[in-house]
Amino acid sequence: MHQSDFYKDKSTSSSPNLEGMVGFKNRYMVMEVFLDPSKDLGVDEPVIITQFNLSKAIKDSILTNFGECGLASSLNSFQVKYVNPITKVCIIRASRDEYQKVWAAITMVRSIANCPVVFNLLDLSGSIKACKNAALKCDELKFEQYKLLAGARFTPDSQLHMQNCLDKIKLLEH
């Protein structure tokens, strides 16, 4: 895991293949979402998270807390790159200048579609490569936990779905 990245600033971003992308310096945050934490564990999910509703919720939060300008300056690089609805792991990209604000705004997100949520940062990295590694690890570990929790409700579909998600991670680019 790249915990050491947390409080170190990366000086350059790595983008060996694509031209014109070296100017963008980003931070990739791997986060997990807890849906309705006050409900007992193991109950069926109240809402399914997707890239769209996550993105909307976060943007709303930025707008509320940092205003129009805050939203505008972070909107450039802000993107929810990946979401795994089974394990609730997501990857969010933000620019290096604004990532703290975006991260704070994410922390302050209280609900997604009327379901209370809690975000928790798992990993912060400066390159997509490091982020992919971290996300793969987190995803796999969380999937193990999900299996323990789901017990009887676990289906081979989930396994397939999971595999697709993992492949998606591997294909991620800036």
Partner 1 sequence: MGFFDLNIPYHESDRHVTDKSSLKSRRLKLALKAMELGYTGIAYNRTLKGIISESDRCAIPLFPLSSILKLAPSSSYFSAAVKFHRDLLNVSVSTAFRQYTRLTLIVDSAAPVLKSSNGILKSYDIVAVRPVNQNAFDQACKTSEVDIIAIDFSEKLPFRLKQSMVKAAIKRGVYFEITYSSFIMEAQARREMISNCKLLVDWTRGKNLIFSSASPSVTELRGPYDVANLFSLLGLSKEGAKAAISRNCRSILANALSKKHFYKEAIKVEEIPSHGQINSEPSPFDDWLKWDPISSGDGDLLLDDMEKSFSASRNVAKTVKTIDFTSSMNGVPAHGLQIKDIISVTKVAPEPPDNGKCLSVAKETEAAIADNEMPVEQGGVNPLPEEQDSLNAVVRKQGKLNPFPEESQTSLEDDRNIYQVPNCEKSKILLDPLPQEQGELISLPEDGQISLNDVTNKYQVSGYEDSEMSDLPTNIGTSNYFTDFDELDTVSIEKLRNSGKLDGNSVRIELSDSQLSSCVPSCRTSVLPDGSLSFNSTSFSDRPYSVQLSASLNDICFPANIEESNVENSVDLVVSAQEGIVVNTVQNKIEREKEKEPILASPDISSQNGHMEREQLKERIGTSISSGDGLAIEEYINPIVNENSAAKYVPMVDGLISEKKQIKPVTSYRLLDKSQAGRGRAKRRATYKPFSFPFKGLLNPKPFKRKALKSKSLITM
Q: Which residues sit at the interface with partner 1, rule CB under 8 A? A: 1, 3, 6-7, 37-38, 40-42, 64-65, 100-101, 103-104, 107-108, 110, 116-123, 138, 141-142, 144-145, 148-149, 151
Strand ranges of the sheet holding 111-112, from the earlier edge strand across to the other edge: 79-84, 89-95, 26-35, 115-125, 111-112
Work out how close the CB of 75 gets to partner 1 at its nearest, in angstroms, rounded to a whole number: 19
Closer to partner 1 at the Cβ: 47 or 174? 47
Work out how close the CB of 121 gets to partner 1 at its nearest, in angstroms, rounded to a whole number: 5
Closer to partner 1 at the Cβ: 41 or 171? 41
Displacement of CA 18 from its chain's centroid (Å): 23
**Angstrom distance (rounded) from CA 82 to CA 90:** 5
Residue in the block written with tokens 């990209």? 93
Work out how close the CB of 119 gets to partner 1 at its nearest, in angstroms, rounded to a whole number: 7
Closer to partner 1 at the Cβ: 30 or 169? 30
Closer to partner 1 at the Cβ: 101 or 132? 101
Q: Helices marked H in 3-98 — which ranges? A: 51-75
Closer to partner 1 at the Cβ: 147 or 168? 147
Work out how close the CB of 12 gets to partner 1 at its nearest, in angstroms, rounded to a whole number: 20
- The answer to whether the beta carbons of residues 88 and 37 sit under 8 Å apart is no
**Tell me, what DSSP letter sits at residue 89?**
E
Work out how close the CB of 17 gets to partner 1 at its nearest, in angstroms, rounded to a whole number: 29
Q: Which residues contact 6 (CB under 8 A, 6 or more apart)?
A: 124
- The answer to whether the beta carbons of residues 98 and 49 sit under 8 Å apart is no
